[in-house]
Structure 1
């Protein structure tokens, strides 16, 4: 399933000091996990006995009962491929250890002792247990078999999954063991816990799990002891969490009186390649570890994870103002720095009434507002040509007037005709030459006018166009500061909508958002746009989706197609997705030469195609391997 694994956190109904009764509940949850195609399920700390058995851990009867119940579980899951992680007390070398047992097909694959034992306030673990933090390269006998034992154990399926296990307080330590596990290749981390409930503690606990998944660039699965634990002095809520690279993707309802199992599909292939693509992960120190190979795992028949069709756009609408403010501030302050450094007081923008030039103008205007600069020093130039419609021109003019900027008009039709004549091009031949002459004419006008005005040409081209090479080389490809170069088309729409809070321009923005995307380089027909970009290169929402997964973690084309079909559901069929994905790949590879010499511009999100920032690629790289993989 393209690197996806289903993981689970289980919280069983607990009866303190009754391992056999607990074993029955555990088995029912294991069976549920197997039926749900879960690869690994983790249970709470000291699962079989209950965490709060206290000094009963020092009694031979409880340990014997625990081991008997563990053997009972093993005998009943010999045909279960799902990996089970249970908490047990282990007697080894006349010391008692709080351990995690990793089990598959009725066999114990390894035992991991707890490193950090809390011993303050309501916790007295050192009264019964000792730390196993120094145990490495060791085995122990359990139920008549020799089992790997130590904090140096990792487990792998020899494909995408490598996981490690830590126990409760280990996560709360200054240097959690999971840090070292992640540095040694673990992209999936499990925690068996017994964290009691205090006012606000569950929020801090969730934050701890979530941030640790981010720090380790891993998925983190956490299961804590439930309400069946002793309430002599504390209450346990049975908190279960699953986080993936800084985001909580599954969480149960605490204080349940019944068994609880939460599942989530995590993309371990993505996490492995993110470590290579965008972090200092490879500088982490490696330690000697023992890696245990797992047996065959349950396979996911259908992905249950929601895939967002707009990965560049914030999913929570409530965050819109904050996120848009941040984007605009990045753009504005980038432009402010450039203008102040160059001692330039004027900004020139080619304004068309389209999305890109609208955002560039709005963000430039915001920069001038921040600095208290005169809005009249923003020179917006409308340059109507053969394809310009009254709708787009009118929107451009009305927006400029509403913002109080200087508006100039230079008609390029006669300039273009003279260029056609000079290069002996038939103006009836509506070819690329016909279009590019106009695009370069507009850029030439802006550059020359900037010289005359003593201003800086603000570029309007966006990240999506840069990815596709949808620009004219040395035409709209060029500017003095490419303000939108870090923002894809789907995000530009999102940010422009944010400006609707300004009532003076809300109606204008609505019409701009409703206008088909077009360079307007081919003659209009009855004042209607005839050249719609998305009918030529494909839907921008698809291309932005392709771009994100292709650049973010180097996803294979077949996986990108798989995810797109899931994300867009019935909106696009497989034939359509494949068609436009091929277009994306071909254009992305063949148009790199434009990116190799693109002008400066601010990085806004996690992806940039600037050769000086995120993306370095030969201009003549061959695409065939990617096309072959897709086919």
Structure 2
């Protein structure tokens, strides 16, 4: 038998690949909108004219899916007029007008209307695109308490037996089990009160595959209700690991007994992306982008999501395929902060307080378990060792131990500057810990002689010898005093492998191991403003302003730091950004690059971002062997590189795929 082998390029192979939802355009972002039109109660033609204008405006903005409020064609506050055939028939005629006038548009629209189904009337959400009706979703939970009387007019979806309905001259799918596939994602619909139920329909829709939930609503305003409503949407989007787009009635609805504020809200997995102005008199279009790739990553990592579906015996939904859309260039409206590990405003203080408490709690447990009353910390006058020392001080205070049991060791070397040396001594003195000074220069010179290394050659051997000498000293001092060596290295350094193997890479308990570099300075600053004396505060503030450096290369002629870490490995704010989206969401380099360009606009150009992105992935893969044998340390946030915690990666994994994608970036 003869075999014929065909060889083709990677591009050819990719072009021939079958459609895959993961091969999304626009990096998995779906542009959505919540529209709040003006209405005239019971004037269906006028209402549809306003809906049509907002649909066309959204289309021009690149919106792919848009939702309008509950009963938006007729108005929600029609009351007993819903029993009039004129309303239902005019609603259908208005819908036909809307279909005709939007038949050239790709956008998927969700509008609300009263709809007769045989002998019943339902509160319906109608999904339309390109002049066609894709399906109709009836409301399940009809509020009939306090100011609500919906059961007076409408029948619940739970009482329907029909699975289709004739609307605008055609039979279309009907039911709460409908899922719509459009824009490379799947969405479902629940209506207003449905979300307030103990088990909302959206919970089942999400387990059946819905990644975005749309909610046409008519929730009125009362004192405190808005905050509660937002908390419900946030919780439901987080519980479902989904996007949630909410549009509620606004100006124009009857104010006979209640007032509607016009809420357009867009959430993604618990986080608010965009919100409308409440009580606005004009029409509003609230637009944002939901990252479906991110949601899928969350669901894949959270295996409870799949287990929940199996335990509940969730059946298959009816899937409806929307028409194809012409691809458009993505213009992001949502903001991506350059420092994802660092919250803004008062949340930063809360984050620092909680992280510091976790660090202290972890070290306290380790000391309690070992029955030790001494720790040894290498103090360089830099940020990381400062934070580790502060954690030790707080832990000893909490345990009622004397601070003299904290042995701070400063170890001047060839690159130590007066600034860091003096800060190290001043900080230890002001905090009342035991101080030891051990100069490493003589020991390193002897070592260079022993191994035949030229002291004038400032290479990796020159640098690492100093780091290992310092670690040996700390370990031996810990044996002397019967204490623990406290590690100072942070998450960012571990990600880049910016540590000497069996040098500063090693300790007996590492309190900073899952704290990113961009957050370390804020933690030190937080401690400086919370509970230390003026001497300590002044030293801490100067340490914060000191350039980051391992100080392994001699200082310049003016005695200033010559070896700046970020000049060598790149800006830590970029690396922390790359790390967050790589580890937290599993994004490809191309998407991380795209997000970084948006986040760091005006700060770094494309070439700079690409350069350091390549460095990040090259180092991350090549340095895994250091992370495979990390000392114990507490996880404090959503990311940890501990082999016993979040990250289990083979040390000999290939980085070729990632680096090739980066090299191809334009």
* Structure-to-structure mapping, 1:214-233, within 5 angstroms: 214-233=238-257
Give the TM-score taking structure 1 as reference length: 0.97
What aligned pairs does 1:182-581 form with structure 2 within 5 A after superposition?
Answer: 182-278=206-302, 280-285=304-309, 286-297=314-325, 299-315=328-344, 317-501=345-529, 502=532, 503-526=534-557, 527-581=559-613
- Find the partner of 1:157 among 172, 182, 185: 182
Partner of 1:112: 137
Measured after TM superposition, the shift of residue 385 of structure 1 is 0.9
Question: How far is the alpha carbon of 1:301 from its aligned partner?
Answer: 3.7
What is the CA–CA distance in structure 2 between the aligned matches of 1:134 and 1:155, rounded to whole Å?
23
Equivalence for 1:586? 618
Q: Is this contact kept in 2: 1:135–1:149, CA < 8 A?
A: no
Greater shift in the superposed pair: 409-418 or 280-289: 280-289
Residue pair 1:139, 1:148 contacting (<8 A) in 2 also: yes
Distance in 2, matches of 1:375 and 1:38, equals 60
Q: Deviations over 1:13-71 (max 9, x none)?
A: 11111111111111111111111111111111011111121222122111111101110
Determine the C-alpha separation between the residues in 2 that align with 1:217 and 1:465: 31
SS of aligned partner of 1:280 = helix
**Corresponding residue for residue 26 of structure 1:** 51
Deviation at 1:365, TM superposition (A): 1.1
| TM-superposition CA deviations, 1:195-247 (whole Å, max 9, x none) | 11111111111111111111111111111112322222222222221111111
Q: TM-score, normalised by structure 2?
A: 0.92
Which sits farther off after the overlay, 525-534 or 59-68? 525-534
Q: Deviations over 1:337-387 (max 9, x none)?
A: 001001111111000001100111112111122222211111110011111
Deviations 1:585-605 (A, max 9, x none): 011001111111101100011
The range that moved more, 340-349 or 429-438, is: 429-438
C-alpha distance in structure 1 between counterparts of 2:321 and 2:289, whole Å: 21
- Tell which deviates more after alignment, 423-432 or 390-399: 423-432
Indicate which of 33, 44, 55 corresponds to 1:8.
33
Measured in 2, the distance between the counterparts of 1:512 and 1:18 equals 68
Aligned length: 629
Q: Distance in 1 between matches of 2:221 and 2:643?
A: 51
The Cα offsets for residues 507-565 of structure 1, whole Å up to 9 and x where unpaired, read as 21222122111111122233222211111111111100000000011000011111111
Q: Distance in 2 between matches of 1:342 and 1:162?
A: 53
Q: Output the CA distance in 2 between the equivalents of 1:163 and 1:510.
A: 51
Partners of 1:96 and 1:475 in 2: CA distance: 75
Secondary structure of 1:612's aligned partner = coil
Distance 1:136 1:38, change over 3 A: farther
How far apart are the structure 1 equivalents of 2:208 and 2:455? 64
Instruction: Note the C-alpha offset of 1:287.
Output: 2.4
Q: Quote how far apart the aligned CAs of 1:321 are.
A: 2.3
Give 2:115's aligned residue.
90
Give the equivalent residue in structure 1 for 2:649: 617
Going from structure 1 to structure 2, the CA distance change for 1:133 and 1:599 (only over 3 Å counts) comes to: farther
Matches of 1:183 and 1:270 in 2, distance apart?
17
Q: State the Cα RMSD in Å.
A: 1.5
Deviation at residue 280 of structure 1 after TM alignment: 2.3
| Deviation for aligned residue 1:454 | 1.0
Contact 1:136 1:150 in 2 (8 A): no
Picking from 71, 76, 80, the partner of 1:51 is 76
Q: Distance in 2 between matches of 1:234 and 1:431?
A: 76
Q: Secondary structure at the match of 1:477?
A: coil
Tell me the distance in 1 between the aligned counterparts of 2:528 and 2:37.
Answer: 51
| TM-superposed deviation, 1:158 | 6.4
Select between 276-285 and 121-130 the one with higher mean Cα deviation: 276-285
Give distance in 1, aligned partners of 2:428 and 2:658: 45
Distance in 2 of aligned mates of 1:237 and 1:367: 50
Residue 135 of structure 1 and its aligned partner are, at CA, apart by: 5.7
For 2:614 and 2:262, the matched residues in 1 are separated by 48
2:288 aligned counterpart, secondary structure: strand
Worse overlay, 111-120 or 421-430: 421-430
Structure 2 portions without partners, runs of 5+: 1-25
Q: Deviation of residue 93 (structure 1)?
A: 2.8
Question: Distance in 2 between the 1:353 and 1:16 partners?
Answer: 70
Deviates more, 1:278-287 or 1:42-51: 278-287
**Contact 1:56-1:62 at 8 Å conserved across structures:** yes
Q: Which moved more, 1:232-241 or 1:274-283?
A: 274-283
